[in-house]
Amino acid sequence: MGAMGDGEIAPIPGGITAARGVRAAGVHCGIKRQALDLALVASERPASVAVTCTTNQVAAAPILVCRRRLTAGRFAALVANSGNANACTGEGGLADAERMGELAAAVLGVPAEEVYVASTGVIGARLPMGKVEAGIRDAAARLSPEGGGEAAAAIMTTDTRVKEAAWEVRMPEGTFRVGGMAKGSGMIAPEMATMLAFVATDLSVPVPLLRRALQEAVAGTFNCITVDGDTSTNDMVLAFANGRAEIPAAAPASPALAAFERALREVCGELARMIVADGEGATKVVEVLVRGARSPAEARRVCLRIGNSPLVKTAFFGQDSNWGRIMAALGSAGVPVDPARVAIAVGDVSIVRGGVGLGAEAERAANERMRQRSFSVTVDLGLGEAECRIWTTDFTEAYVRINAAYRS
Amino acid sequence: MGAMGDGEIAPIPGGITAARGVRAAGVHCGIKRQALDLALVASERPASVAVTCTTNQVAAAPILVCRRRLTAGRFAALVANSGNANACTGEGGLADAERMGELAAAVLGVPAEEVYVASTGVIGARLPMGKVEAGIRDAAARLSPEGGGEAAAAIMTTDTRVKEAAWEVRMPEGTFRVGGMAKGSGMIAPEMATMLAFVATDLSVPVPLLRRALQEAVAGTFNCITVDGDTSTNDMVLAFANGRAEIPAAAPASPALAAFERALREVCGELARMIVADGEGATKVVEVLVRGARSPAEARRVCLRIGNSPLVKTAFFGQDSNWGRIMAALGSAGVPVDPARVAIAVGDVSIVRGGVGLGAEAERAANERMRQRSFSVTVDLGLGEAECRIWTTDFTEAYVRINAAYRS
């Protein structure tokens, strides 16, 4: 709950259609054998939009299409499919992505430039456009203010759970809502596991303010579960704001903007943690906190180095406070460190001080903490004031099984 | 076989004691529960020496001791233990490493400054110095020109096979030999799995020439199975040359030096490939060749990005020519690429041209190649003339099992 002054904020049920004036649907069109595989989200009035997307130089066709849209900054609808990433599909794939947008635009009676497109799934296969076209028609006919859940289900790939979050903000002038959905579960190699998130608000937020708010929210949430600058071919986070709440638009430095930024961060944070918790084959969610770094950038490098180390992550799986692997990881992060200043704790149990282990008793207590499904690892570099926090998972045999068999 | 002019070169049986004037032994001193855990290697006459070692800032105590030795450039003996890395052990651990060298020096009657020390195993525990001392005495009593094999066995940790290689060079003036041993098997996270290699030659090679030859050999062999600049706390490659062959010393630009460099590269290459083949839980050895890069450095970055991607490596395990994961990896290597110029082949089967897949038939043929224990993946970036080749493994459930349980 926030202070009353700048908007009381609380979680509410639902996902993207928790925002008023948003309808959604999820259908099975046949890209996958059985499951829902096509989602449509439509705003009942033109909305402002902001997108952050992959920095991978091998960007998928829908990413290229969305980038073309961004200059206009207006959003009418989103069409997203799972089961096929439409990546590495050449000019033909690009035409398919454009066509996907055009088909949705035609069915909904909106300009094609305001329809965004996303895809996730196998790379390198062309979309079955006949099925996609039929799916878009079916989805348009099903659009509903209660359709958020099935839309969220339709963007899943190896996800085992639907990921939705929504918050409501109470302002003196009335309420507004922020709701969203996400997919993603390949947390071992986050740089290459597609992550999609779509967030809607019924507040009116001008494009420049929406862009800044989204960037800031992503930096502290989705980018804390992924490797900086190393993203999949299809990663995308999109936010749109349709003003349907009919309270005054967010203005620079206004209480509404501040409250919106907080609600957006909450929604993105919840969705990000859901992605980690649904990591492929994961049995643990681990918060890695690096403090005492000389700069935030250095803290982040060390944090990611530890959080992405297969040896550290297999030790998490083994419930083994093998801090030697953490020391080896932080020593190879490409950041100056002084081993003799390093302290490490699991939860509140110190296991290393001055770069040296505190003994078998401490390790046993730490192993005890690691039996929980969720725990934290804190590393103090002892060099400065900067810190960084990320969420990661353990690394399990099930991960290998899932990824070895994914296409077969 | 090389051309006669610069020395005929051929593999011979044995390892480090294939070089004349080298004795070795491996004993069980009790650091491990059962297996051999302490190796001693002695040169019957003072030798020149060169070492390349870890760039990890958390360097283990034996690494610090070896660095102190290097200014002298003289070698009498090496003492190495497995089961305990003597890393992150503070001042006490450093004293232990010095003491290990002093004990060996006293028993052998050589200067302590000429005794090198290496350790591998668990990080963060102090060495049981009483056991180490007894082990050094036992090993000294067992030293033998046939002891190379047991010394190689005594440095193993998760290795499943002893790793030895030796080559003989026939010169007009006589023959000389190069023999070595290595340990290492954590190829999934090569940056943190200790790799030790020790190579002896009975040629006389002055220190500066030996250093350069070792650097060049390591660059094309051990450094092609590991991540540049990202090494474990304990990695070390040491070469010594004792002149026992009694043929003229290698001189700059001499045929003997050229032949020695080739033989050293062969020995290091064999040992490096043995390490890959013994990768923890590995079922495949994969050669990743990146060509058509703008520079060797860019080729290497892309090569390592592909060869270290968990998603690519699980696809190797699944015998699935999932080239989309290779495209995603090369797009995020931090090197400019043009997807539309990329070609990919598995063995001699093209699966991608112009950044686009060549269809199900080609993929089936590629999957067929991937059923073999060993195959190659070639990526042509289509941007230049530079190339890089590395060896990697697949990523298996057994890897996770081994590393989750390693300490318990």
**What pLDDT is stored for residue A395 in this prediction?**
81
B71 counts as catalytic: no
**Mean pLDDT of all residues in A19-43:** 97
A125 contacts B357? CB cut-off 8 A = yes
Q: Chain A contact for B134, CB < 8 A?
A: no
- Give the whole-number percent of chain B exceeding pLDDT 90: 70
How many residues are present in chain A? 408
Rounded mean pLDDT of B174-188? 85
C-alpha A369/C-alpha A357 separation (Å) is 17
B217-246: per-residue pLDDT in tens? 998 888 887 543 456 788 899 999 999 998
pLDDT on residue B4: 45
Neighbours of B175 (CB within 10 A): 16
Which of B89, B120, B157, B194 does the annotation list as catalytic? B194
Contact by Cβ (8 Å): A150, A117: no
Tell me: the pLDDT tens digits for B108-166? Answer: 999 999 999 999 988 889 999 999 999 999 999 999 999 999 999 999 988 889 999 99
The amino acid that residue B147 corresponds to is: G
- Contact between A59 and B331 using a beta-carbon 8 Å cutoff: yes
Model confidence band, residue A70 (pLDDT cutoffs 50, 70, 90): confident
CA distance B285 to A259: 55
CA distance A13 to chain B (A): 35
CA distance B304 to A210: 38
What's the complex ipTM?
0.71
Number of other CB atoms surrounding residue B340 within 10 Å: 12
> Which chain A residues in 249-288 lie under 8 Å from chain B, judged by CB atoms?
none
Record the tokens describing residue A356, joined without a space: 């040296």
- To the nearest whole number, what is the mean pLDDT of chain B? 90
Assign B3 a pLDDT band (cuts: 50, 70, 90). Answer: very low
Angle, helices B296-307/B310-317, rounded to nearest 10 degrees: 60
Cα dihedral value B303, B309, B313, B314, nearest 10: -160
Q: Chain A closest CA to B289's CA: distance in Å?
A: 19
| pLDDT for B228 | 37
DSSP character string of A317-350 = HTT---HHHHHHHHHTSSS---GGG-EEEETTEE
Q: Do A356 and B407 touch (CB under 8 A)?
A: no
* Listed residue (B378, B376, B377, B291) closest to B337, CA to CA: B291
CA distances from B405 to A193, B265, B373 (A): 27, 35, 26
Q: B318 contacts in A (CB within 8 Å)? A: 403-408
Q: What is the DSSP letter of A253?
A: T
Share of chain B above pLDDT 70, in %: 94
Contact list in B for residue A87 (CB cut-off 8 A) is 324, 327-328
Distance CA(A3)–CA(A9), nearest Å, equals 8
pLDDT tens, residue by residue, B318-377 = 899 989 889 988 998 889 999 999 999 999 999 999 999 999 999 999 999 999 988 999
| CA–CA separation, B156 and B274 (whole Å) | 13
A406 pLDDT higher than 80: no
pLDDT in tens, B270-318: 998 888 888 777 888 899 999 999 999 999 999 988 988 878 888 898 8
Burial class of residue B162 (count of CB atoms within 10 Å of its CB; 0-12, 13-18, 19+): buried
State if pTM tops 0.95: no
Q: Which amino acid is at B13?
A: P
Residue A317, token pair as written in the block? 């799986």
Other CB atoms within 10 A of residue B360 CB: 9
Provide the pLDDT for residue B226.
Answer: 56
Any A CB within 8 A of B122 CB: yes
Whether chain B has a CB inside 8 Å of the CB on A111: the answer is: no
Cα–Cα nearest to B164, from B246, B347, B344, B41: B41
Q: Which residue from B354, B401, B407 is facing A90, i.e. has the nearest CB?
A: B354
Average pLDDT value for residue range B377-399: 90
The first and second tokens of residue B333, run together, are: 């290597």
Q: Is A126 helix (H, G, I), strand (E, B) or coil?
A: coil
User: Among all residues of A, which ones are annotated catalytic?
Assistant: 194
pLDDT digits (tens, 9 = 90+) for A349-393: 999 999 999 999 999 999 999 999 889 999 999 999 999 988 888
**CA dihedral in degrees (B367, B368, B372, B378; nearest 10)?**
-60
For chain B positions 322-341, those within 8 Å of chain A (CB to CB) are 322-325, 327-332, 334, 336-337, 339-340
What's residue A190's pLDDT?
Answer: 42
